Structure 1
Amino acid sequence: MTFGHWGFSWTGLVFSALLIAPNLFWTKNKPRGYSAAGEDRRLLVLERVGEAGTLCAALFFRDTDPGPWSGWSLWLVASAVLMLLYECWWVRYFKSGKELTDFYSSFLGVPLAGATLPVGAFLLLGIYARLIPLLFFTLVLGVGHIGIHLQHRRALERPGG
């Protein structure tokens, strides 16, 4: 594990673009009845800090870029697979009726896939890079982002939710 080596990461740029692009499109395609009202402020702070830290660590530490192929490279492959599944989840969402249940859905057995797949992808990228800042901020992001999605999903499951 390392605290990283400064430098621009093309892998970080690709992962960041794959994360941000569908979210920008989502702003015009929110599910019917969506509201951020009532979200736990502590989770929101963790989510925002995690988002900023994760994106910065992925972009500005060159450790996330591929090196010579080895068994360790399978972490990068697994990370890319999770990011690809995340994109597939978005395609399914955008083709759906855009209901709250669509947004907080599972995908291929992954619960709350819109939150867990990108967190998992960046976590595996951090493991591949052996990059402590990326691992730390991804865990912070995971607690906030998955926590907020879980809060919304539980509200949907309540009677009258």
Structure 2
Amino acid sequence: MDRLLGLLSIRVQKGVNLVAADIRRSDPYVVFRLGNQELKTAVVKNSINPVWDEVLTLPIFEPLPIKMEVYDKDTFSRDDKMGDAELDIKPLVEVLRLRLDNLPNETIITTIKPTRTNCLAEESSITWSKGEVIQNMVLRLQNVVSGEIEVQLGWINVPGSKGL
């Protein structure tokens, strides 16, 4: 617990225009990796525009980039990789360290523009929403023809942890 900074809440909202790994469809799921930790969403059957609306929680010991990979679930063979991206959580952590409080709801604290070195498909905003700091991201998948994944990041402080 003395090294734990807090918990990262990852709401995996949806995929957009994912590649069709099985003729005209895919059975996609998303995997998040950080060090030896791994979290997976459920599989969405027969979709290249899946909606997960699923929240995964990842313990954070240092604000390293999180690897995201999208796969097509196959029954009789190895799952096909449908692309990957990296989530840079440093901007979110920097805003959290400011210890902002009581801002008007939906206040945009900062924005991050897409660059060649990040996987953002569009500008990402870090916002004060309902008493929390959240970051909305649309991540463009790499190493694939097409596809984007929409996620929302949040932070959960853990009593007794090192904290930010």
TM-score interval (norm. to shorter): under 0.3
Give the TM-score normalised by structure 1.
0.26
Structure with more strand by fraction: 2
Asked which structure has the greater RCO (Cα within 8 Å, sep 6+), the reply is 1
Structure with more helix by fraction: 1
